[in-house]
Amino acid sequence: MELVDLTLFLTGLSLTVALDNGLLRTPPMGWMAWERFRCDIDCTYDPKNCISEGLFRDMADRLVEDGWKELGYEYVIIDDCWVSKQRDDQGRLQPDPTRFPGGIAKLARYIHDRGLKLGIYSDMGSHTCMGFPGTTLDKIEIDAQTFASWGVDYLKFDGCYSNPVEQMLGYPQMSKALNATGRPIAYSCSWPAYLGGLPPNVNYSLLGEICHLWRNYDDIQDSWDSVQGIIEWFASNQDVLQPAAGPGRWNDPDMLIIGNFGLSVEQARSQMALWAIMAAPLIMSNDLRNLDNWATAILQNKAAIAINQDPLGIQGRRLVQEKSHIDVFWRPLSNSASALVFLSHRTDMPFLYHTSLAKLNYQPGNYMVYDVFTSSTVTRLKASTDFTVSINPTGVVMCFGHVTGAP
């Protein structure tokens, strides 16, 4: 089948497999293993940190006992390296018997009993990215049924060891197979990340019909350079990416790495602020058992979370890119409110940035403005009034505001 014929085929197919099942009307929140724990399968010498049922039970306990769940962090997501090297006698995926002796269904019950949801990982190629058995086209239906039978609530479907034609067939086919199970399962597609993330290779209209969220770009690493590179790519391509997002369909710039080793406090605030502005999934990848207080405070910031979870579901945009290496981002929110982020790419010293709401395209009026990270409030700020924000190197100032009256 020629590529053009495949495109026509999938255009028709997408109408019957749309994942409009009411899930993820706001970006998902939770915890995922990959960035922090990678493919550590050495449970002999590293039993606390290896990819095993114990690790995921630990993280579920922390989400419940340390206040994460009540803020919306509800998914516990297994990434690569959970699966046995061999399928079972019925051709089904099975977990590594040493590291997951109770099986995935039992782990799902543990997580569900705590009011949380379980996510799992598979790959549509011959193998996963780390070389474990994949979900090839002929295995999609049985794997979807297996995940549903275990009580899985979320699937991350990767694309290593697959080609563009297989991806064009496989990602919609998995969407259809998940729907056919009758179990509501959130569906995260890595498809666009394997095609460069942009049209014409990526059809975001189709993605919005078959997936709840999708990885667009490179994997995040534990460094400010990585975070900054992701922010810049999303901002530079916002005219394509921003219209694709909305309730039930989200761009995914990858995991929150706050609380690991690569970000300062300022940089951690910057990641949290930009992920909130971008309406990105708030999926942490860190060690919740050993998190510094400052990292917890950033990740549990109720104002930042509320901005991220705003039900209007409109992704924010970069309004200004200054020669002084200051960027200004804006996101419209429900009830005529909005959020602003002033991001410094500088590395020298705090920078005093002068502007007004009018210069940022706000309508005339008086505004109440709340600083997300200092909790300070300014009442009756006129749109025409100049103000100054001091932005620390690689840091942000993030504000929430709404009009309070006529000028």
Q: Given this model, what pLDDT does residue 11 score?
A: 46
| 165 close to 6: Cβ distance less than 8 angstroms | yes
Catalytic residue among 158, 254, 287, 310: 158
| pLDDT confidence of residue 19 | 67
Q: What pLDDT was estimated at residue 7?
A: 44
Region 317-403: CATH code: 2.60.40.1180
**Is the pLDDT reported for residue 10 higher than 60?**
no
Known active-site residue 158: yes
Per-residue model confidence (pLDDT) at position 372: 98
- The structure tokens listed for 271 are 């990641």
Could you tell me the two tokens for 30?
């939770």
Q: Do domains 29-309 and 317-403 have the same CATH topology?
A: no
What's the average model confidence in pLDDT over 290-302?
A: 98
**6 — pLDDT class (breaks 50, 70, 90):** very low
User: Is 60 exceeded by the pLDDT of residue 341?
Assistant: yes
At 405, is the pLDDT very low, low, confident or very high (cuts 50, 70, 90)? Answer: confident
Query: Could you tell me what percent of the chain has a pLDDT over 70?
Result: 95
Catalytic residue among 218, 219, 222, 371: 219
Which CATH number is associated with domain 29-309? 3.20.20.70
Which two tokens mark 247? 């309730």
Q: Chain-wide mean pLDDT for the chain?
A: 95
Amino acid at 3: L
CA angle 397, 253, 305 (to 5 degrees): 50
- Cβ(44)–Cβ(295) under 8 Å? no
For the question of residue 287 being annotated catalytic, the response is: no
pLDDT, residue 8, reads 40
Average pLDDT over residues 48-76: 98
Residue extents of the structural domains in the chain? 29-309, 317-403
Q: What is the C-alpha separation between 365 and 358, in angstroms, rounded? A: 9
> Is the predicted pLDDT of residue 347 greater than 50, yes or no?
yes
Residue 305: pLDDT band (50, 70, 90) is very high
Model confidence pLDDT, tens digit, residues 12-59: 444 445 566 899 999 999 999 999 999 999 999 999 999 999 999 999
